[in-house]
Amino acid sequence: MTWNIPNILTLLRLLAAPGVAIMFLYFARPWADWYALVLFVVAATTDWIDGYLARAWNQQTKFGAMLDPIADKAMVVIALLVICGFSGMDPWILLPATLIMFRETFVSGLREFLGDTAGTLKVTRLAKWKTAAQMTAIAVLFSTGAFETYFNMAIEGMDQATFDGIRSGEIPDEGGVIWKLNGMTYSWWVGIILLWAAMVLTLITGADYLRKAAPHLKED
């Protein structure tokens, strides 16, 4: 193993993956949501930085090539599990999350089976867009969780008539109910659209990898 800066960044990204879930064990919401969001965004940023540095400094290694996709998959899978949990298993999130995790497991199994010939499953440009869409969707949905917690705190003990009065403008919005509601609603829709787009890209790239691996799966 070669310990250079790109590889160290990749390893830190791998270690940050379980840290996203751990935030919810030691911090109350919405702080857990914000800490998880910051940790996830910083870790996701290193995905671009370590690749750029490895190419710029000519420090591409087998260890880095092996660890990089593992770190990406660990981040995505663990974060999606956390989001599915705090969303109450919302089907709009659960379905694409399930298909994304299925594809990641399937492709990892293909690479393991192919062994020395796994080079046929090189990461494509579309797969990079897939990863970017996944990570952006996850970051946005973490903010949705924070806004939802703020909103629930703001309307705690509030009756329907008061809530309707605030929404109509008849009652002053001293607790910031509207901006919290808007933040929750808009971030949810943006996150869902990105997550479903990521799901489509995930399935397309998964099918492409299966097509490339097919010749190596034939019986002798």
CB 80 within 8 A of CB 101: yes
Residue located via tokens 């830190």: 12
pLDDT tens readout for residues 151-199 = 999 888 888 888 888 888 888 888 888 999 999 999 999 999 999 999 9
DSSP-derived secondary structure for 165-205: HHHHTSS--TT-HHHHHHHHHHHHHHHHHHHHHHHHHHHHH
Q: Write out the two tokens for 159.
A: 């009756």
Go through 39-50 and write b for each residue having 16 or more CB atoms within 10 A of its CB, e for each that does not.
Answer: bbeebbebbeeb
pLDDT digits (tens, 9 = 90+) for 189-198: 999 999 999 9
Residue corresponding to tokens 């787009």: 197
- pLDDT of 65 strictly over 80: no
| DSSP-based three-state secondary structure for 88 | coil
Per-domain boundaries in the chain = 5-217
Architecture of domain 5-217: Up-down Bundle (1.20)
The chain-wide mean pLDDT, for the chain, equals: 86
Between 83 and 215, the higher pLDDT residue: 83
For residue 149, give Cα distances in angstroms to 91, 117, 190.
Answer: 20, 48, 18
- Which structure tokens are listed for 94? 């659960």
